[in-house]
Structure 1
C-alpha cells in the first residue's frame, strides 16, 4: 500500500454541477423485468419453479454485466442454494397464475458484497463503475457516402427500435427530430467535431457521444465505434463481420455494437482480485453546501470502499480514502461524476469540468 496526498479544487464554487445519480450500487446490482413462466401440479409449485428459473437468468445477466464475456462463459452453472444466498430480494410485477401455470416479470437484486466475494473467490476480474450516459450517433456509410438523418439510414432505424438492456454504459438513442437534423450534421459526426457533438449530447442530458459507423460491402460489414467527449476521445474500435448472401441484419449488428461498447468499458475498469489503494486528500471548500455536494459524490463512487474525515475546517477537509482497485480507476469513476484527476508536482488535483 502507498499513500499519496492531493488537492481537490473546484472552479466557480457557487456552480456545483456534480453528477450524482447516474447509477446507484443497487441499480447496478439489480436485474429488472425478467419474464418467467412455469408449469406445475399446483400454483405454489409453479411460482417456486418460475422464481428459481428467474434467478438463474438474472445471475447470467448480472455476470455478463460485470465480467468480460470470455471469462463469464467459463463460469459453471451455480446451484439454486448459491444463487439464493447471493440474492437479497426480488420484486414481482404482472403476476398471473392458474391451477397449473404461473407467469410474471421479476426483478432480482444481488448483494454487492457477497457477489464481489463470489467473483474474487472464482478468480474473476470484474468492473462495477458505471459510465455517464452516452448518446449514440449511428451512421450508415454506403456506396453513396455516409448518411445520418436520411430515411435511407436503416442502421439508425435499427437503433431506434433496439432493446437496451441495463449495462455499465447507459445508452441514449436520438429521436431523429427536426431539431436533431438542424443541430448535428453528418460531416460533424464523421469528422468528430467535439464542440458540435458535445452540444448535441447536452440536449439529451449526456456528456459523451459514441459514433457508430456501419459500412457494408459485398459479403461483410465493417463496424467502426469511437467515443468522443470532454475527457478525450477513445481509439476507434473496428470489427469486420461476415454476412451471408449480402443480407445485412442491422438489428443483430446493433446488438453486436452494444456488446463492443460494454466490453470496452469493462476492460478499462476491471478490478483485479482484492487489490486496494489508499490515499489522503485535501478538499478545499468555501461553504457547507459545497462540502455536502462533494460528500454526495463520494458516497456514490462505487469503487470507493470507505472514506474518513480526518479534519474539517471552513476552508478544507482532510480525508482518507480506501479504494477498490487503483487511483486510476478512482479517477475514471470521478470523471463520470464530472470531476477529473490531474497530476501537478507529484500531487493529485481534482478539478471540476462543466457540461
Structure 2
C-alpha cells in the first residue's frame, strides 16, 4: 500500500513543484515582449555638414524625429494627426528603447544612413495620453488582399495583365498596424477563388485560403478603371480615374466596406494611378482598424478569466501568448490547479477591444460565466482588485477547443 501511495504521490508532488515555479514567475512584473507596433523601420536620412562626425550627429537627430512622426501617424487617427505637434528631439530621445543602423555610407562631409528605432511602449502611451490623444497600440493579424480588376462585367485576378495586382506586388506591405499579404497565385489559390468569383466566392474555400496565408481576414478590392472620352486605346494607358470598391469577408459573404476614387490629378512625382490607389487602400485598412481599437489613457479595466487546460504544456503556451498580446498591460495569477487557472488581466479600453486584441493571437475570450457575488478569485489589499461582483470569463487558445 505504501508503494502505491508513493507512486500516486509523485505526480502530485511534481505538479505542486511546477505550480510553485509558475506562481513565482507570474507573480513577477509583466515580462516585456517584442512589440512591433512601437518599432519603426527603414528611416532614411541624407545629411551634409562641415565634417562626417557632425553630419552623422545631425542625421541621427533627424532620423529619430522622423521615426517618431511615423509612429504617431501609425498610432493616431487621421483627425487627431491634424492637432499633433512634434515634441522636441530631446523628448523623443527619452522615448527610444534602442535603435539599429541597418545601412550607412560616410564621406568627409556627408552621411547617408537607414535606421530602425524601437520605442518604449509605456512611455509613448503616457506621452500621448497626457497630451489628450486617443491612440491604438494593438496590431492586426495580416490581411489577405485580393485585387480584382474589372472591365464592365469582366473580372480578372490571376491574369498576368492585371495592373492592379502588379501594383500591390510592387509595394512594401509589412509596415503599419495592418500588414498586408498578396497571394502568390499558385494552383491552390486559383482553385480557391477564380477570376469571376469576386462577389460569388465559396466561403469555405476562402477561409482555407486565408488560413493558409496565416491571415486574419481576406479583403476583396475591386478596381474599376474609367478612361477619358478622347482615349483611343483603353488597354495600354493609365485610366483617368480608378474606383476601388472594398469588401470585407469575415462573415462569409462580400460585405461592402467603402469606395475610393483616385484620379490622375492627385498624383505626384513618379506615382501612377495604381500605386496611388494601393496607398489609399492601405490607409483605408489602417483607419478602419484604428476606429476599432482607439483608446485613451483613462480607459483602464480589469477582468478575471478562467483558463482550462489538459496539460502543463498547454498552460505554459497560454501564458506565453497572453504576455505577447498587445493591449494587455499586466497579468496576475490568482489560482492554479490541475486542470485550470484563474488570471486577472489589466487592459486598456473595452471588453470588445480586448477580444479583438486576443483574436490577433488566435485566442478567444468568452462571455461571463456568471456574476459571482462572492468571487472565489478575489484578492484583497490590491488597488487593482475587481469588485466582489466581478464576472469570470472563459479564455482559451482556439486550436485547443473544438468548434463542434
TM-score bracket for this pair, using the shorter chain length: 0.7 to 0.9
Query: Does 126-135 or 173-182 show the bigger shift?
Result: 173-182
8 Å Cα contact 2:364-2:398 kept in structure 1: yes
Partner of 1:122: 131
CA distance, structure 2, for counterparts of residue 98 and residue 195 of structure 1? 58
Larger RCO (CA under 8 A, 6+ residues apart): 1
Partner of 1:47: 56
Deviation at residue 266 of structure 1 after TM alignment: 0.9
Q: 2:245 aligns with which of 215, 224, 228?
A: 224
CA distance, structure 2, for counterparts of residue 263 and residue 57 of structure 1? 21
Partner of 1:317: 341
Deviation at residue 158 of structure 1 after TM alignment: 0.6
Q: How many pairs does the alignment contain?
A: 331
Deviation at residue 33 of structure 1 after TM alignment: 2.0
- 1:21-49 per-residue CA deviation (whole Å, 9 max, x = no partner) reads xxx64322111121111011111110011
CA distance, structure 1, for counterparts of residue 336 and residue 395 of structure 2? 18
Q: CA RMSD, aligned part only?
A: 2.4
Partner of 1:256: 280
Query: Does 65-74 or 174-183 show the bigger shift?
Result: 174-183
Partner of 1:241: 261
* Counterpart secondary structure, 1:312: strand
- 1:285-340 per-residue CA deviation (whole Å, 9 max, x = no partner) reads 22111110110111011211111111110021121111111211110011112222
Partner of 1:330: 354
Partner of 2:304: 280
Which 5+ residue runs of structure 1 have no aligned equivalent?
1-23
Deviation at residue 120 of structure 1 after TM alignment: 0.3
CA distance, structure 2, for counterparts of residue 178 and residue 193 of structure 1? 16
CA distance, structure 1, for counterparts of residue 254 and residue 136 of structure 2? 18
**Which TM-score applies when normalising by structure 1?**
0.86
8 Å Cα contact 2:174-2:180 kept in structure 1: no
Distance 1:246 1:64, change over 3 A: closer
**Which TM-score applies when normalising by structure 2?**
0.76
CA distance, structure 2, for counterparts of residue 242 and residue 149 of structure 1? 23
8 Å Cα contact 2:369-2:394 kept in structure 1: no
CA distance, structure 2, for counterparts of residue 91 and residue 233 of structure 1? 44
- Large movers: runs of 4+ above 6 Å: 231-234, 245-248
- In the TM superposition, 1:81-230 aligns within 5 A as 81-164=90-173, 166-218=175-227, 220-229=241-250
* Counterpart secondary structure, 1:318: strand
- 1:115-159 per-residue CA deviation (whole Å, 9 max, x = no partner) reads 001110111111111111221100112225221112332111111
Distance 1:177 1:284, change over 3 A: closer
CA distance, structure 1, for counterparts of residue 64 and residue 355 of structure 2? 34
Deviation at residue 178 of structure 1 after TM alignment: 4.1
8 Å Cα contact 1:220-1:240 kept in structure 2: no
Partner of 2:86: 77
Distance 1:58 1:180, change over 3 A: same
Higher strand share: 1
- 1:141-190 per-residue CA deviation (whole Å, 9 max, x = no partner) reads 22252211123321111111112251111211112334432332134432
Q: 1:57 aligns with which of 66, 70, 76?
A: 66
CA distance, structure 2, for counterparts of residue 57 and residue 43 of structure 1? 21
8 Å Cα contact 2:225-2:242 kept in structure 1: yes
8 Å Cα contact 1:189-1:197 kept in structure 2: no
Distance 1:220 1:120, change over 3 A: same
Distance 1:332 1:237, change over 3 A: same
